[in-house]
Structure 1
Amino acid sequence: MFAVMKTGGKQYRVQSGDTLQIEKLAADAGETVQFNEILMLGGDKVTVGTPVVDGAAVQAEVVDQVKGDKVIHFVKRRRKHGSQRTKGHRQQLTMVRITEILASGGDKTGVKAAIGAGSVAAVAVAATEAKKPAKKAEKKAEAPKAEKKAEAAPAADSEGTKPANLLTEARGGKPDDLKKISGVGPKLEGLLHENGVFHFDQIAAWGSDEIAYMDDRLSFKGRIERDNWIEQAAEFAKEAE
């Protein structure tokens, strides 16, 4: 009785007692392994798999882990200034001795399945890669919690003292042209309006604590004092009178 089995991407015709070298398996010498991809069984009756024969298996004993004959090939790079060299390679192989061919019941023997060393390495790499997204997912899951904590935490008090003369809208619906103050452009004027500042006399009345508060609200630390807003606003307020 013989069998045609597949392992390491190759097909082998084997029968009990045969010794052959196959692509390296993840097994030690003396271990018994089982090949479950049986494509055909031959003998008194021929059975062809579709693509494999259900329940069929080939068992073998691992004799040794060996290396194949050395293969030398020549490498030339014609666009790399005439670079050329020779490379040698010896393929990692496993020597096995076929001990038994099972026409049925191969799925119930409990014998370790023959797995290529490359497949084991690929599974290990895949398992490592699978853990990485999980860690990222955990970090993403933690992010909303951190945001919730941030929302729950009370906002820190702004520096300085909030000016008492802030308004909800300009007096008479006509705000002063705050852009006359050096350093105040359209964007900064809009921020001042959002914070209740529409007139020169409001700015002129600020003290050091009110300046510190507005500096913090406008995100322009030191600009009010550096550009002398108070003095400029006081002059423009007098002109408006």
Structure 2
Amino acid sequence: MFAIVRTGGKQYRVAAGDKIAVEKLAGNAGDTISLGDVLLAGEGSELKATDGLTVSAEIIAQAKGEKVIVFKKRRRHNYRRKNGHRQQYTILRITAIGGEKAQAPKKAAAKKEAPAAETAQAEAPVKAAATKKAATKKPAADKNA
């Protein structure tokens, strides 16, 4: 399920388990917050009612963005001003949309381990053949001798 939420004057498309960086929100790392301004929600191509729907998220960290240099100049008036700015952000992990919680990633980890074992078995004969070829090659004759 996905939702489009509005926070800090911007809109974000989120799903359970996503990480997003939004304008600074009050709270410390580990706190749980609720984003109540849900504009759209759905699953696949089906849309669902958004009245009373909330998105819960966990604050991962409070961070600063990249430094932006603001330089003003007026020609021929000896007017120069240089300022820097770093925007404050809150990094969120979406835990649930409405009543649906994020699914555990255990299934994905089990799927990743199985192909790794198959490729290790397939690579063993290839490595053995490569070492045999390297051992049978004769060194090239020196052309300058």
Tell me which stretches of 4 or more aligned residues in structure 1 moved more than 2 Å.
none
Query: Does 2:79 correspond to 1:83?
Result: yes
Question: 1:85 Cα shift?
Answer: 2.8
Query: Does 2:71 correspond to 1:74?
Result: yes
Question: 1:33 Cα shift?
Answer: 0.2
Structure with more of its chain in helix, by fraction: 1
- Equivalent residue number for residue 154 of structure 1: none
| 1:219-238 residue CA offsets vs partner (Å, 9 max, x unmatched) | xxxxxxxxxxxxxxxxxxxx
Q: How do residues 1-241 of structure 1 correspond to structure 2 at under 5 angstroms?
A: 1-44=1-44, 45-47=46-48, 53-78=50-75, 81-102=77-98
**Matched residues in 1 for 2:99 and 2:4: separation?**
12
Instruction: State the TM-score, normalizing by the size of structure 2.
Output: 0.63
Question: 1:40 Cα shift?
Answer: 0.2
**Matched residues in 1 for 2:95 and 2:75: separation?**
51
Classify the secondary structure of the residue corresponding to 1:91. strand
**Matched residues in 1 for 2:6 and 2:23: separation?**
11
Aligned length: 99
| 1:78-109 residue CA offsets vs partner (Å, 9 max, x unmatched) | 58x321132211001101100000069xxxxx
Over the matched positions of the two proteins, sequence identity in percent amounts to 51
Aligned 8 A contact 1:55 1:103 in 2: no
Aligned 8 A contact 1:4 1:11 in 2: yes
Structure with more of its chain in strand, by fraction: 2
Aligned 8 A contact 1:41 1:103 in 2: no
